[in-house]
Structure 1
Amino acid sequence: MKLIYRDIGKDSSGQVTLVAEDGEDMWHTYNLLQPGDSLRASTLRKVQVESNTGSVGSNRVRTTLTIAIEAIDFDSQACMLHVKGRNIQENQYVKMGAYHTLDLEPNRKFVLAKKSWDSVHLDRINVACDPSQNADVAAVVMQEGLAHVCLVLASMTLVRAKIETQIPRKRKGSVQQHDKGVEKFFDSVVQAVIRHINFEVVKCVLLASPGFVKDQFYEYMFSQAVKTDNKTLIENKSKFLCVHSSTGFKHSLKEVLVDPAVSARLSDTKAASEIKALQDFYKTLQNEPDKACYGIKQIEKANESDAIDTLLITDGLLRSQDVQLRKKLVTIVDSVKDSGGVVRVFSSMHISGEQLGQLTGVAAILRFPIPDMSDSESSDDD
């Protein structure tokens, strides 16, 4: 997603100009649009034209319209949004108040204005427009004295850091100098990994090199992590995968990513993380039922006690046209983040999102049990 312009005031009202570049961006756009917002985009409109002879015909003309959104339909097959509403700005072809449907598709600019931009909408724009937020996979491609820390996206690879260090050759009498040089190099790479890889987003980190450099680096990194009690690295140790590459340059990533073993590991990592989160919830519900809850009433009660460790919620629920319900949900999302909890927004286009939708659309794993958490949830189902 490209952010062309952003003008949001202190009162949270304002507008953004965006260009959706692919199908995933169209899904982000669908989750941003709400009835009551205004949308401005170019469109084709059939207009009546009177010729010099007095005969009346119709032509299709391209014009730019601004509508107040009333209905939104997402066509996943055509990867297009059909947005219906009334015209709210003067236009030579369309009367004020007349209905029109704007068709949004990839690579077409649009302006979206809201009376109030909440944190969920702003987070979605940040995620959609920041390539690093969509990078499920990171890679460290290295050889002795050279390393590239990269983020791997569907359409591109971003080099976040390049580390180059002169390492003395391993000669008789200078082995100690060589080892010090290697240690200094490895330490710089570890710092780059910590600084540039967001382990909340990244699900797999490839360590690639010729020979045994990657294995030596892996051992050094985790021995240092234990010494310094670096919990981020220790907790994410299972995400690292050592693979062979011919060099430590970025172009060697191509040969790494086509390796069948690597492809299998990387397949649909984002969806896999959602499935794991849902499995963790079901496991908790089965083994420690007092530390799992679902349904809005129970979630509200748990949130009042700052008990939510992980909140699972569908984007479908966050698209609710019930303004009060949506405000309530956004408040819960913000509160969980402020108390140090994790919020996972499930896409209703994924099977895990469908499963969570069948379970009221919102669930949580708790830090500690909440007394009297047995209220009926029948009124929350829809």
Structure 2
Amino acid sequence: MKIVEYDSKHGVLKLIPESSDDIWLLSLVIKPGDLVRGRTFREVRFGERGSGRSSRIPMVLTIRVENVDFQPFSTRLRVRGVVVEGPEKFGVKGKHHTITVDVGQEITIIKEGGWPRQLLEKLEKSRFRSKVIVVAVDYDEYAIGVVQEQGLRIVVEEALRLPGKDDPSRSEKLVQTTTTIAKRVLDIAKRESIGSVIVVGPGFVKEYVVEKLKELDGLKIVVDTVSVGGVAGIHEAIRRGVVRRVLAELELAEVIELVGEFEKLIVKEPERVAYGIDDVEYALEQGAVEKLVLLDELLHSPDPAMRERVDKMLKMADRISSKIYLVGREHPAYLKIKGLGGVFAILRYPLPRNTLSQQP
């Protein structure tokens, strides 16, 4: 994310998204009631009372946001709202319009109540965010995934069907297969500008893949052992912290570790955690929340009261310097967090369970 200009006094932030992760982040940052200004196209009819020909005219519009539409891992964000500023001659003020935000397009976001510190830090941090390819391979299957801020995206998942040990064609088939895997990895790396790959698996097949990668390109390669190949192997690599060691700043692996920490604490020290909207809101009011993990879908709940409540929680977290983690639907820990009511917190100090609405 390129921050072009920031006016803290008036809550005006001008920026340019530089990747699909940046587009995802903007989908979390832009909320109903915000103002968004950008260059767009609008269908305009000419002639008396608009009875003549129509044409798509480029113009700069400012809209008051009503809703935001984003598809995971896409490079486009649709922001819909009512026009509050635009060329007078086209009579667009007061009408609905959708601004489409693409990678590389400059937009301005205005939060009239000011920008929370945590959101600004998240946008600033996104300037240095990167992605990594993870390959998990064994004798039976392999998978290639891309780990990024939004979560894990599986790109390839296939069975290997290698011949048996006594088959004379086994060696040739192994070379062909691992060469194909290596070429697919390189295609993904070049297409998405990724410089690092993690190759994991239980046996020697991963070594063949690594050898082919080294022959074909100069990617940074990390090798580790997991118990299986395929998608399950990628998830194991993430859980074991292999990805975290490569991308220490990436929140995906950190959230998985926090889920693990929560599961231990809820058994051993239940007063050190809170989960569900009611419990977490109370813990925030007491200033007890150290780390807050929240599903991003709550920010765009169809229920206005829920959106307002979540926004209030984020502002409280910002005020007491809690660290906030926003989790997307594609994240490996999504279902676990969903099962906790979409939100949980690790507390700075114990809160008696009888002060909370839920029991462990």
Q: Same fold (TM over 0.5)?
A: yes
Shift of 1:94: 4.1
Structure 1 counterpart of 2:123, which letter? I
Shift of 1:50: 4.3
Give 1:74's match in structure 2, choosing from 70, 83, 87.
Answer: 70
What are the ranges of 5 or more consecutive residues in structure 1 without an aligned counterpart? 138-152, 155-253
Check 1:373–1:41 CA distance in 2 against 1; reply closer, same or farther (3 A cut): same
Give 1:25's match in structure 2, choosing from 7, 22, 31.
Answer: 22
Shift of 1:33: 0.8
Check 1:37–1:50 CA distance in 2 against 1; reply closer, same or farther (3 A cut): same
Return the alpha-carbon distance in structure 1 between the equivalents of residues 41 and 292 of structure 2.
43
Please give the residue correspondences for 1:325-336 in structure 2 after superposition, counting only pairs within 5 Å: 325-336=309-320
2:354 is paired with a residue of what secondary structure? coil
Contact 2:63/2:83 (CA < 8 Å) preserved in 1? Answer: yes
- 1:173 is matched with none
- 2:243 is matched with 266
- 1:125 is matched with 123
Check 1:343–1:60 CA distance in 2 against 1; reply closer, same or farther (3 A cut): closer
The C-alpha deviation readout for 1:83-140, integer Å capped at 9, x for no partner, is 1111111413342111111111111111111111222332222222x42xx3689xxx
Return the alpha-carbon distance in structure 2 between the equivalents of residues 287 and 34 of structure 1.
38
Give 1:289's match in structure 2, choosing from 270, 281, 303.
Answer: 270
Stretch moving more, 297-306 or 352-361: 297-306
Check 1:65–1:300 CA distance in 2 against 1; reply closer, same or farther (3 A cut): closer
Structure 1 counterpart of 2:7, which letter? D
Structure 2 counterpart of 1:98, which letter? K
The C-alpha deviation readout for 1:206-228, integer Å capped at 9, x for no partner, is xxxxxxxxxxxxxxxxxxxxxxx
Return the alpha-carbon distance in structure 1 between the equivalents of residues 92 and 324 of structure 2.
44
Shift of 1:46: 1.7
Task: Give the TM-score taking structure 1 as reference length.
Answer: 0.57
Please give the residue correspondences for 1:10-21 in structure 2 after superposition, counting only pairs within 5 Å: 13-21=10-18
Check 1:136–1:6 CA distance in 2 against 1; reply closer, same or farther (3 A cut): same
Shift of 1:2: 0.9
Return the alpha-carbon distance in structure 1 between the equivalents of residues 32 and 335 of structure 2.
23
Structure 2 counterpart of 1:32, which letter? V
1:25 is paired with a residue of what secondary structure? helix
Return the alpha-carbon distance in structure 2 between the equivalents of residues 65 and 367 of structure 1.
45
What are the ranges of 5 or more consecutive residues in structure 2 without an aligned counterpart? 133-146, 149-216, 226-233
Return the alpha-carbon distance in structure 2 between the equivalents of residues 47 and 293 of structure 1.
53
Q: CA RMSD in A?
A: 3.5
1:347 aligned to 2:309?
no
Return the alpha-carbon distance in structure 1 between the equivalents of residues 313 and 51 of structure 2.
57
1:4 aligned to 2:15?
no
Shift of 1:361: 2.2
Number of aligned positions between the proteins: 255
Return the alpha-carbon distance in structure 2 between the equivalents of residues 308 and 48 of structure 1.
54
**Among the aligned pairs, what percent are the same residue?**
26
The C-alpha deviation readout for 1:277-323, integer Å capped at 9, x for no partner, is 11110121123323322123322443455444433233333456546
Please give the residue correspondences for 1:1-382 in structure 2 after superposition, counting only pairs within 5 Å: 1-9=1-9, 13-50=10-47, 56-76=52-72, 78-91=74-87, 92-116=89-113, 117-128=115-126, 130-131=127-128, 134=129, 257-261=220-224, 265-266=242-243, 269=247, 270=250, 271-318=252-299, 321-322=304-305, 324-337=308-321, 342-373=323-354, 375-377=356-358
Return the alpha-carbon distance in structure 1 between the equivalents of residues 221 and 63 of structure 2.
46
Contact 2:5/2:15 (CA < 8 Å) preserved in 1? Answer: yes
